[in-house]
Amino acid sequence: GAGVSQSPRYKVAKRGQDVALRCDPISGHVSLFWYQQALGQGPEFLTYFQNEAQLDKSGLPSDRFFAERPEGSVSTLKIQRTQQEDSAVYLCASSLKQGRPQNEKLFFGSGTQLSVL
């Protein structure tokens, strides 16, 4: 079946512009994660959903970052008033359901590369 799909693949924004990044997880996957990956670094946790509930948003760097998953499937990461330091690859990942080791394998999308000029 289809994997995790993210769009757009690339996004160039002017500083101060709002952007919205979309993630379509694997069908049936309950858990959905967003990560931010800067060049040469590992993925940094941003936020985590279980179905439509946002269980952890401790990694969101500021109140300019907002994520939602209103129907428990597609998720959107929104960044308001983008800054140059927001430039990174934003990765979405899904899993069957966190809590049972056999269900915790994360499947990643190809990411959205955001460049803020």
* Beta-bridge mates of residue 112: 90
Site string for another protein, 33-72 (x = CB under 8 A): x-x----xxxxxx--x-x----xx----------------
Nearest to 62 by CA among 36, 89, 32: 36
Please state whether beta strands 10-13 and 112-116 pair in parallel, antiparallel, or not at all (unpaired). parallel
Q: Which of 23, 111, 112, 114 is close enough to bind another protein by CB under 8 A?
A: 111
The H or E element that residue 24 is part of is: strand 19-24
Residues whose CB falls within 8 Å of the CB of residue 61, separated by 6 or more in sequence, listed in order = 36, 46
CB of 103 to another protein, least distance (A): 10
Stretch that binds another protein, among 13-21, 30-38, 66-74, 77-85 (CB under 8 A): 30-38
CB of 52 to another protein, least distance (A): 14
| Residue number with CB closer to another protein (20 or 30) | 30
The answer to whether 5 and 54 have CB atoms below 8 angstroms apart is no
Chain residues that interact with another protein, rule: CB under 8 A: 31, 33, 35, 40-45, 48, 50, 55-56, 91, 93, 98-99, 101, 104-106, 108-111
